[in-house]
């Protein structure tokens, strides 16, 4: 599938899921896969085309999608089309996006890289509040592991810099998770 086609399909995906238009979206997608790959962080081989799962939640990136089964079909179809990198975050839903990915794809196919993020809280739809406290980030990593049914997160990212917390402290928490082998490649590499 060409990058442009995938982007068009992905952008239409959120609207399609909300309107039960998955069959039309899938019909528009090419079944070919790209042979182009690269090393993410120097050690994770991924296809150039990934899938950002944020829009598979409810309105305002809040709650479950209106059609949960179609959202799971979108995830499965992305993998069938050759996507081996899925990006999510604990704030998407909040939490529901990671749970949805596990529902749809666990046990995960060999070679699937799941990236997630922490450091944003969600008091309501379309509301994002950074929280970079080290103890909060450590808790985020542990909860994402549980929701995604993983022993180790391939790529864990700091979602936002929290101006109230020194960045060294936030990144230190992620480095500690990496050292504990809870995450692999991270935004605070050795």
Side-chain-side CA neighbours of residue 105 (13 Å): 30
Show which residues are catalytic.
92
- Given a contact cutoff of 8 angstroms between Cβ atoms, the answer to whether 147 and 98 are in contact is yes
Q: Can you tell me whether residue 155 is helix, strand or coil?
A: strand
Report the distance separating Cα 120 and Cα 158, nearest Å: 9
H helices of the chain, in order, are 3-18, 22-28, 68-80, 96-105, 134-148, 167-179
Please calculate the CA angle 85-41-112 and round it to the nearest 5 degrees. Answer: 25
Report the distance separating Cα 76 and Cα 107, nearest Å: 12
Residues 6 or more apart whose CB falls under 8 angstroms from that of 17 comprise: 55, 56, 65, 66, 67, 70, 71, 74
What is the CB neighbour count within 10 angstroms for residue 87?
18
């Amino acid at each position: 599938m060409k990058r442009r086609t995938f982007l068009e399909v992905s952008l239409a995906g959120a609207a399609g899921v909300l309107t039960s238009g998955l069959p039309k979206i899938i019909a528009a997608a090419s079944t070919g896969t790209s042979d182009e790959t690269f090393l993410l962080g120097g050690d994770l081989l991924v296809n150039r085309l990934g899938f950002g799962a944020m829009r598979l939640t409810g309105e305002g990136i809040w709650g479950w999608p209106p059609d949960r089964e179609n959202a799971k079909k979108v995830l499965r179809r992305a993998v069938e089309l050759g996507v081996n990198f899925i990006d999510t975050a604990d704030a998407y839903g909040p939490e529901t996006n990671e749970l949805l990915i596990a529902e749809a794809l666990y046990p995960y196919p060999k070679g699937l890289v799941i990236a997630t993020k922490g450091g944003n809280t969600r008091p309501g739809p379309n509301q994002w509040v950074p929280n970079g406290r080290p103890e909060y980030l450590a808790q985020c990593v542990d909860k994402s592991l549980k929701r995604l049914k993983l022993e180790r997160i391939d790529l864990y990212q700091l979602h936002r810099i929290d101006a109230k917390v020194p960045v060294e402290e936030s990144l230190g928490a992620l480095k500690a998770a990496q050292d504990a082998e809870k995450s692999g490649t991270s935004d605070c590499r050795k």
